A and B are shown apart, each in its own frame.
Chain A
């Protein structure tokens, strides 16, 4: 340990190997330590050994997951595209500690017109993750009285996800609000999730519409409260987009206001 190391606080960094292996660093320290690891092969080797030790602590905690979890995960897998392999030269020292959910790259766009179509998310994976996260949230937030209804709904959701042509798409605006869809053109079904829009004031509701060229919008139903997805059936392959409007309680036969958000369906196999 040189004087320079001491002056730069490197001695201190090196001693973080064990806390790092135990995931016991706060985010800022974690980042600093990972930077340090890149320039310190002996630290990397030590961290690897200590991490293997820590994992031994994990094995003894094994517990049987609920059986329904398997169906949900496998259904989600069928609808979720995989990430590309890494550019290995950029892979940091210890894969498990450093890879994770990367936020989508920031995009700067020119101001759009007043009722824009949503910008597509950076990747199909991000879109799928958004939908799937909301499906999981539904499962996790269940209360006893909603259990049966949600079980029935999750069967429908699993059915859509299991279709060989199930694909995901989603859009998110600057405020983080999103409209996400997993759809199967062959089944004519879609699971649609509206997030971040809250509950409209005055007892009004969010209503979902199917937009087709040369035809009136067709109601696909009212969004339940919360982020619970809406399962839409009977979708025609000519459908071009989904739109959401705010309508009086009980919904309307035709939209009575401008859409608050739209999402094109081309990327999920519609619009032919």
Chain B
């Protein structure tokens, strides 16, 4: 069964449907959170909260507004970004060191996982963007920086970063074939 149908059943309190949904989305949710948050223990915590939030708030999913997977991953991304930003605010330096310490383990894990074709396709399409488009998109999406922080890191005007983000995403859409 597809995530969209499952989510509707979950909204009706169906725990079996939630188990099936967990099987479909826990990998993408956990992987995304981990990519953004990096710290393994914190990633697990955020992913768990996201998955529980799916259970609690399934009734708020509106199929008319997009796919369930998109809704779920958007939620997961938002929560991951919130976490990484509050961790940064709490201690920029400690966080940097923690990320460095964890980066090896993290890379090993992701290499082991089979996200297969999609991973390869996204990587190829990211490679086709200009360097500034790619950096603007990935610093924001994968590292959780605001566009102001991205502008600072890349020493670019704010307007340029916003444009690069938009161009980067639309180029990505063309390259990936626009099929979500």
Footprint of B on A, CB under 8 Å? Answer: 15-19, 21-26, 48-66, 69-70, 72-74, 76-78, 80-86, 88, 91, 94-97, 99-101, 125, 129, 132-133, 136-137, 139-142
| Residues of A contacting B32 in the complex (Cβ-Cβ under 8 angstroms) | 58, 61-62
Given contacts A48-B66, A125-B56, contact A59 B49 (CB under 8 A): no
- Asked if B9 CB lies within 8 Å of chain A CBs, one says no
Q: Are A24 and B146 in contact (CB under 8 A)?
A: yes
Q: Are A56 and B47 in contact (CB under 8 A)?
A: no
- Asked if B109 CB lies within 8 Å of chain A CBs, one says yes
Report the separation of the CA atoms of residues A50 and B70 in the bound assembly, to the nearest whole angstrom: 11
Interface of B is mostly: helix
In this complex, what residue of B is CB-closest to A78? B15
| Residues of A contacting B71 in the complex (Cβ-Cβ under 8 angstroms) | 95-96
Q: Are A56 and B180 in contact (CB under 8 A)?
A: yes
Q: Are B60 and A99 in contact (CB under 8 A)?
A: yes
| Residues of B contacting A48 in the complex (Cβ-Cβ under 8 angstroms) | 65-66
Interface of A is mostly: helix
Given contacts A55-B73, A86-B59, A99-B60, contact A74 B19 (CB under 8 A): yes
Report the separation of the CA atoms of residues A234 and B143 in the bound assembly, to the nearest whole angstrom: 48
Report the separation of the CA atoms of residues A55 and B141 in the bound assembly, to the nearest whole angstrom: 9
Select the residue from A63, A78, A86, A95 with max chain B CB neighbours within 10 A.
A63
- Given A61-B115, A82-B57, 5 additional A-B pairs, CB 8 A: A54-B77, A63-B27, A63-B110, A64-B113, A96-B71
Report the separation of the CA atoms of residues A141 and B39 in the bound assembly, to the nearest whole angstrom: 12
In this complex, what residue of A is CB-closest to B175? A56
In this complex, what residue of A is CB-closest to B26? A65
Report the separation of the CA atoms of residues A52 and B177 in the bound assembly, to the nearest whole angstrom: 12
Report the separation of the CA atoms of residues A82 and B168 in the bound assembly, to the nearest whole angstrom: 38
In this complex, what residue of A is CB-closest to B36? A61
| Residues of B contacting A76 in the complex (Cβ-Cβ under 8 angstroms) | 48, 52
Select the residue from B60, B137, B148, B180 with max chain A CB neighbours within 10 A.
B60
The digit string for B138-155, where 1 denotes a CB below 8 A from any CB of A, is: 101110111110100000
Given contacts A78-B15, A82-B58, A132-B52, contact A60 B81 (CB under 8 A): no
Select the residue from B65, B145, B166 with max chain A CB neighbours within 10 A.
B166
Q: Are A136 and B49 in contact (CB under 8 A)?
A: yes
Among B30, B74, B166, point to the contact of A96 (Cβ < 8 A): B74
Q: Are A51 and B70 in contact (CB under 8 A)?
A: yes
